[in-house]
Amino acid sequence: MLPLDFEGQKPICIVSETYQKQVERIQTFAIFDNVKSKEFSAKPWNSQMCSTYVGTELDQNQLCVENPPGMSQTNEISGDILVNKIMVSAKQYIVLLGVISFSTEDIQILTNVMTHTKWIASKINLN
């Protein structure tokens, strides 16, 4: 796990390959609404259904989740984050899964941060 600081929030970690399968099995994610400064639960959409809905095929490095009821309409705002909570050695970690690229009224399309873990780790280790 690589801890990051997110504006005073609990440290958010980038998942190493060791824990990615554990995170991918979780069926409900947490998404942070930067406008309301609030956490919402979001369920993933399968890539094919999402691609059909938005009218274009998703890239391999993209995720699609529902836009939870009560979340800000962020059609023009990107940067909210998708996270999950996992337990490792009896300690809870908040792990970064994705960053919202764009959304519609019903879904959020995110860049899948886990597909870039090796690259991110190499850049962090350089500093």
CATH number of the domain to which 41 belongs? 2.40.10.10
Does position 26 have pLDDT exceeding 70, yes or no? Answer: yes
Q: What is the pTM of this model?
A: 0.72
Q: How confident is the model at residue 11 (pLDDT cuts 50, 70, 90)?
A: low
What local confidence, expressed as pLDDT, does residue 74 receive? Answer: 52
What local confidence, expressed as pLDDT, does residue 106 receive? Answer: 84
pLDDT digits (tens, 9 = 90+) for 82-101: 888 888 888 888 888 888 88
What local confidence, expressed as pLDDT, does residue 52 receive? Answer: 92
Amino acid at 40: F
Separation between Cα atoms, residue 20 and residue 14, nearest integer Å: 10
Buried-state track 79-101, b at ≥16 Cβ within 10 A, e below 16: ebbbbbebeeeeeebbbbbbebe
Number of structural domains found in the chain: 1
Residue 44 is classified by DSSP as: B
- Determine the number of helices (DSSP H) and then strands (DSSP E) in the chain: 3, 8
Structural domain span for residue 112: 2-126
